[in-house]
Structures are given as structure tokens and as C-alpha cells.
Amino acid sequence: MSTGARHPQQEQLERLVRGELHDPHGFLGRHETPAGVIVRAYRPDATAINVVAGDSVVAKLERIHPAGVFEGAAADVPTSYRLEVAYPDGQTFVLHDPYRFPPTVGELDTYLAAEGKHRRLYEKLGAHVRAIAGVAGTSFAVWAPNARAVRVVGDFNSWDGRLHPMRSMGPSGIWELFLPDVGPGALYKFEILTQHGTLRIKTDPYAFQTEAPPANASIVHAPRHRWGDQEWLQRRTEQDPYTSPVSVYEVHLGSWRRTPDGGFLGYRDAGRLLADYCRDMGFTHVEFLPLAEHPFGGSWGYQVSHYYAPTARFGTPDDFRAMVDTLHQAGLGVIMDWVPAHFPRDDWALARFDGTALYEHEDPRKGEHPDWGTLVFNFGRNEVRNFLISNALYWIEEMHIDGLRVDAVASMLYLDYSRPEGAWTPNVFGGNENLEAIEFLKELNEVVHADHPGVMMIAEESTAWPGVSRPTYLGGLGFGFKWNMGWMHDTLLYFSKDPIYRRYHHNNLTFSLVYAFTENFILPLSHDEVVHGKGSLIGKMPGDDWQRFANLRALFAYMWAHPGKQMLFMGGEIGQWAEWSHDRSIDWHLLDQGLLHRGVQRLVADLNRVYAGEPALYERDFSPDGFRWIDANDADNNVVSFYRLDASGERVLVCVANLSPVVREGFRLGLPRGGTFREVINTDAEDYGGSGVGNLGRVEAEPIPWHGLGHSALVRLPPLGVVWLAG
């Protein structure tokens, strides 16, 4: 056909050249006709194109459009043909034609995606290295339902979107294309033509790997790590986290430790160091602030741009896998903070992805978060819920994460969260509950708990919403655990007071036991308590340096004995003076400056050791049967005492806290049974930097009723100290 003649499929031809053809495979590639086989190719800068089968040219294509569309006919062209493309500089390339391959996304995939029920949608969308008909390459797929056209661009096509338009998979809104000879390491993005005719260059929402910020291209990734944690994963399915010891060390990976020159530790090095440190310290789990890719380091990971990609700041996805594997083989669980509540506005990421409010709400009263300047997911949209639930499963299944701490749950539950009157819209019943977010959270927790027994789902929820950690069939949200923000606030308030005033705040110390068993609580002393001018934990304590450290040690011992699992942010265990900064390492050098810092660290290690060996401290964390007050009302002496029971009721752990700077000699303490009680923890021990006031390792319970109990003993209570007695 001459260049000037009208083509039988002129409309498709023109739409192809304009970049608007939604089904390029229907025009390009190999097509059988009654007269033979027609092959069409679009290579804008080519001078000539031949069709090659084996070593032979089976058809010569002629230009049918000046933009670079070529066409030719032959009696027969095998389906395995290739294109020989010549360019003006004399170079010739032989390549597989992307438009001769079948779709990589099937009808069942598109149906389940539209219904929001494709649990492993990450296996279809994004970039996947694979072979089709013996040809190696990468399949690309993206959800952009309101786009007029979508193209793949990358370093493999000089970022020229004309070369690789994608195929629309009908009303599902999914576009796909298989590109032969594109492999791991290739950089890519999606070029989206909006309904208004503008081009948006977007990174892949399902990208498994990205460039390190500030660069943001997606990277084709094929995992190569060989896992060695099968024994850990099997044990996880058999172990009940509710009745097992859980002591969590919270870590911001970029500032836990730095290299000597101030740079980041990579995932692999950090994994080895963390495994050794946490094992020595007796922690059972490491919880990372979000490690999904985020453009702004100052967000600490809480403004996620790529939900499926570990941040490239510390290495590759396989490096991330190696870190998790190392921690598992050291006997440590891995929890990661996960942020489904909101995402940043970066134009190259999720925001107005296909030119419309796709992942977010169109209405800013629902779609914008006033506190963080971010966008809120549209939880009422099937595909958005699918994106997030599939993402949660991705971290659990592909990255072997043992738990997700869901950030900012309160902001999801309430339509008026942090919004003034008139800046939010009620639900269909006129209330302030976000019904769509509630259903999303329930579905998320049901899916995770059904598919992955033993995985911890933890809510950071700061209000009195009922049943956060109760099963959905009982009307709860279905989380396994909830952070006890009330305990944190009240306890820190109490400990911040000078002991002379503590009697007036005694209720702050004891009130948590009024509601301690209404949820499955984790007691958090998290990163949020040591930033934004709040100072460090040791900085909150009153008195001189010795008293501050004594108070901090007492706080930790009280916390570890309190019902609930516990979590401590890095730096707290060494009594770091400075407020945490994400821009530098925590102050490890303090351990070389005297016993007080080393003493706190040693105490935390001993608390974890005793805790793990005393079932009374963890088997009944969430049952009132495992806790008894001895005396909750001794406000004048700043003393509280209680005991914990294991599941059998036979093992007892008594905790008595003297939170005044006065030694209390001959203090009669009621005990639940007779016999010997071993002093297993004394925060005033000289090894910890204390004054050494104690009970010589044991006390003997006498049959003298006291505190409503049948036995008692005379004990020495150290100043600003906590004593644990095991019997």
C-alpha cells in the first residue's frame, strides 16, 4: 500500500499514531486474513523493517504512515517470528514483536479485581519477569480505568511511549503488555493519556522495587533470595501470640545505627547486628517503622509512595528478605508498621493516578487529611480495598513479615477526625463513623487471620472505639492487638511528677487496670513519645541524674509486669538523653560513659530474660483471672503492689513498686501463699546503678493475713525501685 492511500483500518491507524488506540494488539502484530498473513509494526524512527523466521526474511514491511507504521503481507508467517529493524544510523536490531503475545491477565483476574476479591493481585499487576512461548521478558499491567491510553516507558525504549502502547482489558480498567527481552533491573514507568488529553508519567503502584529517593522510577524485580526460615514459619503457625511472651523492640532502621561516616546501614548488615543485639537483650520481636518506599525521609516512612517496594535507601528487596530471614533464624519475629490510612500527594505516584481521583476520594472532605497534608484512600472502591488487602498479604507471604502494626486507625474510623464542623460529611445514617473504612478493616483482619494463623495484626487506635481487638463475628474490628495509648499517657504523666506530688496522681498509675482486659493491649513506649519537643524518656523523669535513672528503671519494671505485651522504642533501653532524631544514630557512646546507662540496658535485658521464663507474666495477659491487686490504694507512700498468675494458677509473680525516694524498711506485704519467694528483679541493684537496697534474694511468707491475703512478709522496698518476687 502506498503511503498516500487510505488504509482499510484508517481509524485504528490514526488512533495508534495519536497514542489513543486502546487495543494495539488488534492492529499491530500478526493477523491472518483470507489472502495470507499481515504483519504490522510501529517503530517511529525506523527506516526499514523485515519479518524474520529463523535466519530467513519471510516478509518485507513497507511504511504505511509517515509516523513510522509499517505493514507487509506473506503467504505464511510463523507465530514465533521476529522483527529486523533498521535505523538511519545504520544499526539493525532483531527483536521479538510484543504484539504477537497473548494477554497475561485473564478474565478471572479482571473479574476478581473488579469485585475487590483478588487476594494476590500483586501476582498479576505490576511488572513480572516471565517466559511466554519460550521467550523471556516482562509482563506489565496497571489499573487506570479512566485513561484514554496507557504506554510503558523505560530505559529499554529510551522512555519513548510511542513504542509500547498497552492493551485495555475491557471494563476492568486494567491495561497490560508483555515486553520480550526486558529483564530484572530495567527502569520503567507508565505514560498515561488522560481523558483531557494530558500526559501523566506515573510510577507503578505495584512496583516491587524502586530507585532510591529522590529518584523514583520503578525497577523490574525478580526475587532470588532463598529462604532459610521454614522452621520459624512453622513454629509461628503453632504458637499462640496471645499466651506467649511478646517483648517488642521498635526500630527506625535509618537511625538505629549508622556507619562510621554517618551513612545508612544496609538491610543485610542491619539484620545481622539487630539479630545479635535483640537476642542478647532478650526481645522477642523487632518492629520497624514503615519500610515501604517513601520519598521524604522526614516522614519516617509514614507517607508511602510505593506500597509493594521496600525502601531502596537500605538495599534491594532481596536484601530486605535477607534481613527478615536473619532475624527469623535468630528466633526473632518481625513486625512492620503499615499505613493504609493515607498517602502523599506526589504527582508521580498514586495521586490522581489516571487523571481522576482513583485511589483517593474526589471530595476533599473525605479525600484529604488536614493533619498530614496527605490524601485518604477511597475505602468504598473495590479495587482500592483490593490494592491494600493484597498489599498486606504481600508483606506477609512474599516478605515473611510476622505482623503489621496498622497506623492511624482512628483517622480511618471517624469521618470528622481532626476536621472542624462543616469540613466533613456524615455517613448514610447521619453519624461520624466511616462505614467503608470499618468494613475494610474487618475484611483485612478476617483475610489475614484466616490465611496466616500466628500473624499479629496490631491497631494503633487512640480512642475508646469498642472491640478493636475483638473478632468480627462478635462485632469487633478483628485486630489481634491494640496499642494501649491511655496506659502510655497516664503512666508517663505519673512518672514525670516529682514524688512529693505523686500521691495526687496515684489514679494515673492504677486506672489502666479498670479497662486492661477490654482489649488485647500492647503497652507502647513508642517513637511518638520521644519526638516533637517531648524529649527522651529519661528526660521526662524528675530529680537529679541518679533519681532520673532510678525512675526510668522503675518505669520499665512496672511496665514489664503490667498485663499486656510491651514495646520499647530504641534508645530508651540505654537511657538516651537526647530526643530522637531520624537524621542520626542513637547515642551508643553513652554506654561508655558510666554505669547508669549500662545499668538501664542490663535491666531491660534481665526483665526480658525473667519475663520469658515466667509464664505468669504472659499466659493470662488478656484475662482478669491472671491479675490481682495486693494494694492499689497506698497513694500516701507512692506504693503499688499486685501479682500475676500463670494459666495453671500455680506460678505467681509479685510486683511491688515503691515510687518514692525513701527506703521502706519492714514493709509488710500481703502474699497469695506461704513459702519462699525469690527476688528475681530488683531495679535498685548495684549492677543497674542502684543503691543496693533489697532482700538478699528472697523473702519468706508467714501465715499472717495482710492486704486481704492469707500470708505476708516483711520486705525492704528500695527507693524509687520495683521488686519482683517469684513463688
pLDDT tens per residue across span 160-196: 999 999 999 999 999 999 999 999 999 999 999 999 9
4 pLDDT higher than 70: no
Give the residue among 47, 90, 38, 97 at the shortest CA–CA distance from 68.
47
State the cell numbers at 200.
Answer: 501523566
Closest by Cα among 624, 605, 630 to 712: 630
Residue 585 burial (10 A CB sphere; 0-12, 13-18, 19+): middle
pLDDT above 60 for 254? yes
The closest of 283, 327, 245 to 606, measured between CA atoms, is 283
For residues 297, 299, 305, 307, the Cα torsion angle rounded to the nearest 10 degrees is 100
Mean pLDDT in residue range 718-722? 98
Q: 639 in helix, strand or coil? A: strand
Residue 63 grid cell: 511504511
Spell 409-420 as b/e; 16+ CB within 10 A means b: bbbbbbbbbebe
Alpha carbons 614 and 705: distance in angstroms, whole number:
26
Average pLDDT of the segment spanning 354-365: 94
Confidence of residue 55 (pLDDT cuts 50, 70, 90): confident
pLDDT tier for residue 338 given thresholds of 50, 70 and 90: very high
pLDDT above 90 for 443: yes
Given this model, what pLDDT does residue 591 score?
96
Distances in whole angstroms, Cα of residue 59 to Cα of each of 39, 41, 72, 263: 8, 12, 6, 57
Q: Which residue has the cell 490524601?
A: 375
Partnered with residue 180 across adjacent β-strands are: 137
- Domains of the chain plus CATH, in order, are 10-100 (2.60.40.10), 107-219 (2.60.40.10), 230-237+245-483 (3.20.20.80), 486-615+623-726 (2.60.40.1180)
Spacing of C-alpha 119 from chain mean position = 17
What is the mean pLDDT of the segment spanning 467-473? 97
- Say if CB 183 and CB 221 are below 8 A apart: no
Mean pLDDT, rounded, of the chain? 96
Question: Given a cut of 80, is residue 3 above it in pLDDT?
Answer: no
- Supply the pLDDT for residue 35: 82
Q: Give the pLDDT confidence score for residue 610 in this predicted structure.
A: 98
The rounded distance, in Å, linking the Cα atoms of 101 and 123 is: 19
Residue 322 near residue 328, CB atoms below 8 Å: no
Distance CA(380)–CA(194), nearest Å, equals 23
Average pLDDT score over residue span 485-494:
97
Name the pLDDT band for 560 (thresholds 50, 70, 90): very high
Q: What is the mean pLDDT of residues 428-446?
A: 96
Residue tagged active-site, from 109, 229, 443, 460: 460
The set of cell numbers assigned to 649 is: 494458677
Query: What would you measure as the largest C-alpha separation in the chain, in angstroms?
Result: 111
Q: Mean pLDDT, to the nearest integer, of 481-486? A: 97
Q: Is the pLDDT of residue 269 over 90?
A: yes
Please say whether the beta carbons of 68 and 30 come within 8 A: no
686 is catalytic: no
CA distances from 492 to 507, 521, 542, 665 (A): 12, 17, 11, 27
Q: What is the pLDDT of residue 623?
A: 96
Residues 6+ apart with CB under 8 A from 702: 674, 711, 712, 713
Evaluate whether 710 touches 701 at the Cβ level (below 8 Å). no
What would the pLDDT profile of 99-130 be if each residue is shown by its tens digit? 999 999 999 999 999 999 999 999 999 999 99
> In the chain, what are the helix, strand and coil shares in percent, each to the nearest 5?
30, 30, 45
Mean pLDDT of the region 336-352 = 96
**Cell 535505523, residue?**
87
Q: Are 107 and 76 in contact (CB under 8 A)?
A: no
Cβ atoms of 505 and 491 closer than 8 Å: no
Spell out a b/e string for 161-192, using b for 16 or more CB atoms within 10 Å of the CB, else e. Answer: bbbbbbbbbeebbbbbbbbbebeeebbbbbbb
Question: Quick one: which H or E segment has residue 710?
Answer: none
> pLDDT at position 2, please?
47
Mean pLDDT (whole number) for 651-678: 97
Residue 460 a catalytic site member: yes
What's the pLDDT tens digit per position in 392-405? 999 999 999 999 99
Rounded Cα gap, residues 690 and 699, in angstroms: 20
Task: Identify the band that residue 291 occupies on the pLDDT scale cut at 50, 70 and 90.
Answer: very high
Model confidence pLDDT, tens digit, residues 202-215: 999 999 999 999 99
Whether the CB-CB separation of 607 and 636 falls below 8 Å is answered with: no
The predicted pLDDT at position 8 comes to 78
Region 371-387: mean pLDDT is 95
Are the beta carbons of 458 and 483 closer than 8 angstroms?
yes
Please name every residue paired with 724 in a beta bridge, in sequence order, or none if there are none: 655, 681
Cα distance between residue 238 and residue 389, in whole Å: 24
Please give the share of the chain, as a percent, with pLDDT higher than 70.
99
Interatomic CA distance for residues 253 and 274, integer angstroms: 10
Q: Which residue out of 407, 443, 606, 614 is catalytically annotated?
A: 407
1 pLDDT more than 70: no
Locus of grid cell 535513672? 549
Closest CA to 258 of 723, 31, 582, 487: 582
The beta strand positions in 360-444, using DSSP E, are: 368-369, 374-375, 403-406
Question: What is the arithmetic mean of pLDDT over 617-629?
Answer: 97
Range name among 14-18, 317-321, 715-719 with the lowest pLDDT average: 14-18
The per-residue b/e assignment along 603-622, b for 16 or more CB within 10 angstroms, e otherwise, is bbebbbebbbebbbbbbbbb
The answer to whether residues 671 and 705 touch, using CB atoms and an 8 Å cutoff, is: no
pLDDT for the residue numbered 371: 87
> What distance in Å separates the CA atoms of residue 185 and residue 220, rounded to the nearest whole number?
5
| Residue 232 neighbours by CB distance under 10 Å | 21
| Number of C-beta neighbours around residue 140 at 10 A | 29
